[in-house]
Amino acid sequence: MQRSIPSTFATSPKSRSGAAVGVTWRGFWTGIFLSFFLAIGAPYTNMAMHSTFMAWDFNTPGAIFLFLVLIGLLNVLFKVVARNGVWALSVAAVALGLYLAYYLPQPQIDLFKPGLWFASFLVASVLLNAVLVWHGGSLALDRADLVLVYIMLLMVSALCTMGMSQQLLPILAAFAYYGTPQNQWQEKLGPLLPEHAILVDDGEDNRAFFEGGEIPYGAWAEPLLWWAVFLIALYATMVAAAVILRRQWMDRERLAYPVAQVGAAMVQGEGRGLVNRFFKSRAMWYGCAIPVLWGSLEALHQYEPSMPNVNLQWSMPYFGQRLQLRIIFAMVGFSYLINTSISAGLWIFQLLVRAESEVLLLMGLTSKQKFVYGIASQPYLAYQGGGALLALVLAGLWVGREHLKRVFRKALWGARDIDDGDEIIPYRGAVCALLAGVATMVGWLWLMGVQLWVAAVFIGLALLIFIGISRIVAEAGLAAVRSPMIAPDLMIHGLGVNAIGTSGVFNLSLAYIWCADIRIFIMALLANGLKLVEDMTRPSRRVVMWGVCLAILIGAVGSCWMVLHMAYRHGGINLVGWFFEGGPSTVYNYAVRGLEPAGVAWDGLAFCAGGGAVMLLMMWARHHVLWWPLHPLGFAVAANHLMDKIWFSIFIAWGIKRIVLRFGGPALYAASVRFFLGLIMGESLCNGLWIVIDYFTGKTGNRVFIIG
């Protein structure tokens, strides 16, 4: 065999940045297997192991950890053995031998162990790689393939736990199991059930799902089919919206995309050498060491309580409240990458709105309404933040109106002067998907008994909120963020049951499945993923769309398969308490409360309008008043549950960045970025390493980095 780099890499076309730009089947091979592993592994770790959550927020530690394993271990291995066919065969033989020696003696193979699937992928890959090496190729991935894999992992992260599967299945089964004469679900909500089976009833109150037993597949077939129609339309709409807005956000407004910088740094470090250049940065390793050491002490403390651990959470009095002071390393890392005006706005508005909350209490301005998500403790602030978020989105769409006109001109009339060849799908396809998706969702709700105008307004509001949170993630890099107010609350409590009807209340309450606890969803992650395709050829960008579709399918089916079987094997009530009891009970209790006669909440809508007006005023000031210091984006997300936990980390990053820029200038800032990327990598690496250790030792309940 010739000891040289395979021709695949020697002749790969390069962009001006030196990136290989062609997506190959190797990227799909790796992306499909790692996507499936993440789809089943993330729910397994938090259900069976009660371990760290790896796919709950936009920081996606599970995706980052698997990508680090890919570029730091697997890709290096494939490059090394590509130099000699004997090495490739030897590695394949050893891997196959160890695999068979471990699994053949076992009396029964457990298909629900993620380790089995990863080991199978590894053995299959080294065997395939050996064949390729003998034919002058290799399974090692170049930059374009790595981009595809990373985007696929992002898509799976949006679906495999918090984003879909662990919300959907328990809620569908909970109505029959938790309904009692005391909570009056059957009495008040039973008559509102549509004639189509959208909830699960196995004839035995779904006891087997929550307590363990055999899976009644027939009982699940029709409800999952109905929800698949709706969710496919939702995800198609999100993908289309991300594509339509990409050029406006990326090229015209030049948003920072701090979350995307993590993947970009890892991908751009890949080159002709064996080791990814990202791993050669000392600053990165210094930053990485801090969360790894602290997190390891926390993990070891779970094994041996005598091990010391360092508390990084405090509180202090603030206007009659307790203000949380928490250091979250990844949040410090992400926040360091954003503009200081934005970061200042985030933490200053957090303090101002928290003070406003106390002022409202002192003035006796309290609402009788009760919310669960968003700013649950102060409904008026929820309305205010909701109005500010909607104003932010609508103003952004108005600013981008020329771009949107061009998109629709290209889609509807095929304008030749408009080029959409750099998008992952043509504008015509994106607009058709958007319109068809919205029409399908509205029609689905109407078919279930919701008035047509209510369904249309509700879907419109939900999409505006999704766009708003996606914009905040793209511009401010908030890797953990919630909407201040969710669409069901704004419709049910804002307009009242007298306007939307009892059937509307029930069906919009079920929308909690997909638009209530939206800490992670496809649109925001895809918007960041599209930032990574800039160095690709146009044909390769279109190939990425196939990867997105595959990842959505794998993430949805794989995670539902794991959640369903884990629930019936162990009993859902023994798994994650919130997903299998608290969250589902919230949905139906919320629906029962919403049936109480109520008109339009004019006081709440006044705060909503006021929040929107203040947001528009501050946006105007930012562009027309030179001395205006704060970015208004922080006003839209202030005082919600997650901001209470991360604001101090944002403040720390803002302070450090101000000092660096003041005394070191842009050069020192550019040199310091790797350190803060290391903080992000360190959290993901520490989480992943301890999950692997706990998996083999059988340890449960070992949670390291949890935002809350």
Tell me: the pLDDT tens digits for 648-665? 999 999 999 999 999 999
Highest-scoring range by mean pLDDT, 8-17, 355-364, 612-621: 612-621
**Average pLDDT rounded to a whole number, residues 605-628:** 93
pLDDT score of 2 more than 70: no
pLDDT bucket at 11, cuts 50 / 70 / 90? very low
**Average pLDDT rounded to a whole number, residues 377-403:** 95
pLDDT computed for residue 145 by the predictor: 95
**Average pLDDT rounded to a whole number, residues 60-89:** 93
**Average pLDDT rounded to a whole number, residues 631-638:** 93
Which sign does the torsion angle of CA 653, 659, 662, 663 carry?
negative
Tokens 């500010």, located at residue:
388
Tell me: the pLDDT tens digits for 504-532? 999 999 999 999 888 999 999 999 999 99
The CA-based diameter of the chain, rounded to the nearest angstrom, is 82
pLDDT computed for residue 12 by the predictor: 38
Q: How far is CA 416 from CA 406, 408, 412, 428, 540, in A?
A: 11, 12, 12, 13, 22
pLDDT score of 540 more than 80: yes
pLDDT score of 503 more than 50: yes
Cβ within 8 Å of residue 358, ≥6 positions away: 319, 320, 321
Tell me: the pLDDT tens digits for 318-332? 888 889 999 999 999
Cβ within 8 Å of residue 89, ≥6 positions away: 130, 134
CA–CA dist 388, 231 (Å, integer): 27
pLDDT bucket at 15, cuts 50 / 70 / 90? very low
Tell me: the pLDDT tens digits for 144-153? 999 999 999 9
Tell me: the pLDDT tens digits for 679-702? 999 999 999 999 999 999 999 999
Tell me: the pLDDT tens digits for 345-373? 999 999 999 999 999 988 988 888 888 88
**Average pLDDT rounded to a whole number, residues 421-446:** 96
pLDDT bucket at 412, cuts 50 / 70 / 90? very high
pLDDT computed for residue 107 by the predictor: 87
SS (H, E, C) 166-190: HHHHHHHHHHHHHCCCCCCHHHHHH
pLDDT computed for residue 154 by the predictor: 97
pLDDT bucket at 18, cuts 50 / 70 / 90? very low
pLDDT computed for residue 164 by the predictor: 94
Chain mean pLDDT for the chain: 92
Tell me: the pLDDT tens digits for 161-181? 999 999 999 999 999 999 998
Element (H, E) at 325: strand 321-326
Higher pLDDT, 254 or 517: 254
Question: Are residues 437 and 230 in contact, defined by beta-carbon separation less than 8 angstroms?
Answer: no
Higher pLDDT, 70 or 629: 70
Every domain of the chain and the residues it spans: 165-697
DSSP notation for 613-637: HHHHHHHHHHHH-TT----THHHHH
Q: How far is CA 363 from CA 357, 398, 609, in A?
A: 10, 37, 20
